[in-house]
């Protein structure tokens, strides 16, 4: 089974679309949606419980530790599937890519499939320029430090074997930097993975939670932390 973790903070306006998004498109895949309410101060939790109560493949939990990192760790803990995908509640990710992820993982028998919005075959629309510039620059830095060809560490949307995530968790990152920490640890610990192109579309409802000024130091901390861990793993060998 495929578990899809969706962290949700003040995403009430997107919940009906999330329900339709999966129920209308994931026809031939056994799946569950694990929605984690991340201390929302709107009616996200009540609305999610009301909308999803008749759909057994949708489960709703409260975050156990405030912050996006806590929501992802909670989702990993609550997931029942042998595969875990992480997607955002703004529906910026393409459902066709989720199906592609699942197929690649089944066919290639890998521990992770890492998508990139910045390689041939990808379609990106309505990406805020400052956010795009920051992500491209930071991903370039990560490639230099880790000497790896992958170029989209900072995007949340990826799929992993549940055993791999649960072995590595809980992750230490508290915010969006958890999406950097997870693939870096996948690569540093020599888990198998495949790369593929994915599409990305800017959100249509709600407000973005990604704040560059607040996240620069968190990303740098995670980069340094993961690099030190990589060195220590090599020394142990």
- Taking only the tens place, the pLDDT of each residue in 17-76 is 999 999 999 988 999 999 999 989 899 999 999 999 999 999 999 987 778 999 999 999
Full set of structural domains in the chain with CATH: 2-236 (3.90.550.10)
- CB 171 within 8 Å of CB 183: no
| Partners of residue 37 on adjacent β-strands | 8, 62
- Taking only the tens place, the pLDDT of each residue in 131-177 is 889 989 999 999 999 999 999 999 999 999 999 999 998 999 989 99
- Secondary structure letter of residue 93 according to DSSP: B
Q: Return the minimum-mean-pLDDT range out of 20-34, 42-56, 85-99, 202-216.
A: 202-216
pLDDT at 86 over 80: yes
pLDDT at 205 over 80: no
- Mean pLDDT, the chain, rounded, equals 92
d(CA 97, CA 101): 6
Instruction: Mark residue 233 as left, alpha or beta (left: phi above 0; alpha: psi -120 to 50; beta: remaining).
Output: alpha
**pTM of the predicted protein model:** 0.93
Of the candidates 234, 178, 168, the one whose C-alpha atom is nearest the C-alpha of residue 5 is: 178
In Å, how far are 32, 103, 123, 131, 144 from 134, measured between CA atoms?
A: 33, 31, 18, 5, 16
Q: What is the pLDDT of residue 212?
A: 66
- CB 170 within 8 Å of CB 73: yes
In Å, how far are 4, 17, 34, 195, 203 from 13, measured between CA atoms?
A: 19, 8, 18, 32, 11
Q: What is the pLDDT of residue 215?
A: 77
- Taking only the tens place, the pLDDT of each residue in 179-196 is 999 999 999 999 999 999
Residue where the block lists tokens 């900072």 = 154
Question: 133: Cβ–Cβ under 8 A, 6 or more apart, which residues?
Answer: none
d(CA 76, CA 56): 18
Q: What is the pLDDT of residue 125?
A: 93
């Amino acid at each position: 089974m495929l578990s899809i973790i969706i962290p949700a903070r003040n995403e009430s306006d997107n919940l009906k679309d999330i329900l339709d998004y999966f129920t209308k498109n994931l026809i031939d895949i056994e799946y569950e949606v694990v929605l984690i309410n991340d201390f929302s101060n709107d009616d996200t939790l009540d609305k999610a419980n009301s909308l999803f109560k008749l759909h057994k493949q949708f489960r709703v939990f409260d975050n156990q530790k405030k912050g996006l990192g806590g929501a992802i760790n909670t989702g990993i803990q609550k997931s029942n599937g042998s595969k875990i995908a992480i997607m955002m509640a703004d529906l910026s990710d393409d459902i066709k890519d989720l199906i592609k992820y699942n197929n690649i993982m089944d066919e290639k028998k890998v521990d992770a499939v890492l998508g990139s919005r910045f390689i041939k075959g990808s379609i990106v629309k309505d990406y805020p320029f400052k956010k795009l510039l920051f992500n491209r620059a930071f991903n370039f830095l990560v490639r230099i430090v880790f000497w790896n060809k992958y170029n989209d560490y900072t995007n949340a949307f990826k799929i992993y074997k549940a055993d791999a995530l649960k072995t590595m968790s809980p992750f230490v990152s508290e915010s969006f930097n958890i999406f950097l920490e997870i693939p870096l640890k996948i690569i540093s610990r020599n888990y198998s993975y495949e790369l593929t192109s994915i599409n990305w579309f800017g959100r249509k409802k709600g407000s973005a939670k990604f704040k560059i000024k607040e996240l620069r130091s968190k990303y740098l901390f995670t980069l340094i932390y993961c690099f030190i861990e990589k060195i220590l793993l090599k020394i142990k060998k």
